[in-house]
Amino acid sequence: MKKIIFVNAVALIISTGLFAQNTATINLTQGQKYIVENKITTKGSSEMQGQSIESNADVTSTYSIEIKDLNGNNYNMVNTISGIKMSMTMMGQDINFDSDKKEDMDGEIGSKLKNFINQPQSVVMNKSGDVIISNDNDSAKNRETALLLKQMGSDPKAEGYGAKMAFFPLPKKIKAGSSWKDSTSSEDGLTRVTNYTIKEVKEKTATISIEGTENRNSKVEVQGMEVTTKTTGKFSGEEMIDITTGIILQNSTTTDSTGSVSVMGQDVPMTAKVTSVTTVKPI
């Protein structure tokens, strides 16, 4: 019996050691800076009183990230939304915005985004890729701005102001065919289940196939009215990751979803197709 216990203990120690060696981590360099560009294209359709209403939106957000230092297992970063450009058509109305244009920043949309654009945020991400601290001013005005950004398809705080778009930990020992999945949920009622499969590993780059499901059940207040959104969707795509650092070189996903938006007791059926393309470049 003692011999069996000893053998099992040794096996456990060996397997634990191998797991530790293969733990997924990101490996970043102090002082390195990155530019993260995320472009979201949305094509939506809703039905009101028997009439179909089409909407289209192109939103490009640019983040700058600087790795300040490594403290234990945590990377201290300073991340900044350096620019937002959008072109939208909703209910026959065209809406355009470019944060690089002073006249746009002085307008209605710009006045809401001033507290976000070019405002450095202190972000801490551990080597496992978790954002554990994000210092921002959670004022009522900023919450309103965050809601506006979410409606455009972006959630800077949840994304660690670009950090989660830029870095993804991979185990040291991976090969084509390896697969795993994870699930996430957010405070605003969005749950996602993602399946990852390694398509190929070439030199230092892994190409990964992504697919999964997402469900949203959220309530927000807009101009004094409660708006409830319920949708279900499926997404798929591909990303390329530097396996030595965990830097996401490029990510492209497409999501198809259906559901409804309820306002003042009226349900509005809707469908949407959302394509997101993200690139990360060192500077």
pLDDT tens string, the chain, 283 residues long: the values are 433 333 333 333 333 333 333 477 899 999 999 999 999 999 999 887 777 888 899 999 999 999 999 999 999 999 999 999 999 987 778 989 999 999 999 998 898 888 889 999 999 999 999 998 765 555 455 666 666 666 666 677 778 889 999 999 987 778 999 999 999 887 778 899 999 999 999 999 999 999 999 998 887 766 677 878 899 999 999 999 999 999 999 999 999 999 998 877 788 899 999 999 999 999 9
Q: Hey, what are 118's tokens?
A: 């070019």
* Residue in 163, 167, 165 with CA at minimum distance from that of residue 77: 163
Domain residue limits, the chain = 24-282
pTM listed for this prediction: 0.83
Residue pair 53/46 in contact (Cβ under 8 Å)? The answer is: yes
Residues with Cβ within 8 Å of 214's Cβ and at least 6 positions away in sequence, in order, are 190, 191, 192, 193, 232, 233, 234, 235, 255, 257
What is the per-residue burial (b if ≥16 Cβ within 10 Å, else e) of 236-271? ebebbbbbebbbbbebbbebebebeeeeeeeeeebe
Domain 24-282 class, CATH top level: mainly beta
